[in-house]
Amino acid sequence: MTALVDPFQRAIRYLRVSVTDRCDFRCAYCMSENMTFLPKADLLSLEELDRMCSTFVELGVEKLRITGGEPLVRKGIMTFFHAMSRHLQTGALKELTVTTNGSQLGRYAQELAACGVRRINVSLDTLDPKKFAEITRWGRLPQVLEGIVAAKAAGLRVKINTVALKGFNEDELFSLLDWCAREDHDLTFIEVMPMGDMGGTDRLEQYWPLRDLRARLAERFTLTDLAERTGGPARYVRLEETGQKIGFITPLTHNFCESCNRVRLTCTGELYMCLGQEDVADLRAPLRASADNMALEQAIRAAIARKPKGHDFDYSRQKITGQMTRHMSHTGG
């Protein structure tokens, strides 16, 4: 079967799948406090998610990242992970992984490992319980830290994803580094992206360019750029004094689109070919129109043929351009 290749000769090997728009947190840069969630009838069933993802795997996707909202709050979600594990067993799928807020890891870490998950990303922006409650609105830091301990005990490699927020966690840069070094977690910093209406929150007030963060690291450490890629947008450095690997995801200060090999599927069957563009393809209709996958495969190929060269995010002129109207929780990060 012919692999998925976009108009710029990038082979699509990586699918991010949002299995729910719901979350047990309300992180201030991700969603508004009073969210209106989708009716459950609009969501793809777990069986439909299986069929959709399996079709992508047949078309050459080798990495599946399961996201949300918070993916582990979806009722029955482990049924889906068990179903996807068959593709790991055949070798068609090289990696099955999860991005989570960590709140449910205490319940599910062992089962995720049993399904073949080897690495997880945990979103964590502060180690201060009071600030954590502030930024997540509903979250409790001890529950997340306990979940991370459970993940390590289950043999999962944990990567911490920290959104760089000016005036919020700038003062925790080195304490986060030290904690990750002690716990043997990888750490990736992410620039805040202009996604969704935050009810008055000014994105420019939140925006901490990672070039500034990197410069602060360079005052204390020797930074060596690494050629390593994990299939996502991060660029990595090694801190020579500690041996730590630090990632930077910089959609704004450094456009990483030239190597983009991924697309995003929402929990309603919408395919976004680019996080920073509004163009979307409806895959739910062809999925439900026929018991075979011919129409679905054609719709996927037609969508990939529209994948743009890159996004339009821009903060450089002291105003936000390219802002997306949808929340991050809708697309799954």
Question: Which of 163-167, 220-224, 328-332 is predicted with the least confidence, judged by mean pLDDT?
Answer: 328-332
Beta strands in 167-210 (DSSP E): 186-191
Block residue for tokens 């995801």: 249
Residue 286 CA from chain centroid, whole number: 26
> What percent of the chain shows pLDDT beyond 90?
71
Burial of 190 (0-12, 13-18, 19+ CB in 10 A): buried
Residue 66 contacts residue 52 (beta carbons within 8 Å): no
For tokens 């420019």, the residue is 204
Q: H/E/C letters for each residue in 123-136?
A: ECCCCCHHHHHHHH
> How confident is the model over 279-329, as pLDDT tens digits?
899 999 999 999 999 999 999 999 999 998 875 644 444 444 444 454 555
Length of the chain: 333
What pLDDT score was predicted for residue 203?
52
pLDDT digits (tens, 9 = 90+) for 87-135: 999 999 999 999 999 999 999 999 999 999 999 999 999 999 999 999 9
Helices and strands (DSSP H and E) totals, the chain = 11, 12
- Beta strand segments in 154-309, E: 157-164, 186-191, 223-226, 235-239, 244-249, 262-265, 270-272, 280-282
Pair 27, 135: CB distance under 8 Å: yes
Q: 47 pLDDT band (50/70/90 cuts)?
A: very high
Binding residues: 16, 23, 27, 29-30, 65, 69, 99, 123, 159, 193, 257, 260, 262-264, 274
Distances (CA, A) of 113 to 81, 85, 153, 158: 10, 10, 10, 12
Residues annotated within the binding site for [4Fe-4S] cluster are: 23, 27, 30, 257, 260, 274
For 14-160+260-331, CATH number? 3.20.20.70
| Angle at alpha carbon of residue 210, lines to 206 and 215, rounded to 5° | 125
Residue predicted with more confidence, 99 or 202? 99
Intra-chain end-to-end CA distance of the chain, in Å:
29
Binding residues for GTP: 16, 65, 99, 159, 262-264
- For the cut 60, the answer to whether the pLDDT of residue 58 exceeds it is yes
Residue-level pLDDT at 316: 47
Q: Which residue has the higher pLDDT, 208 or 63?
A: 63
Q: Which of 55-64, 92-101, 193-202, 255-264 is least confident?
A: 193-202
pLDDT band at 231 (very low <50, low <70, confident <90, very high): low
| pLDDT tens-digit map of 145-176 | 999 999 999 999 999 999 999 999 999 999 99
Q: For the chain, what are the domain ranges?
A: 14-160+260-331
Lowest mean pLDDT among 20-34, 78-92, 130-144, 215-229: 20-34
Binding-site positions for S-adenosyl-L-methionine = 29, 69, 123, 193
Per-residue confidence (pLDDT) for residue 23, from 0 to 100: 93
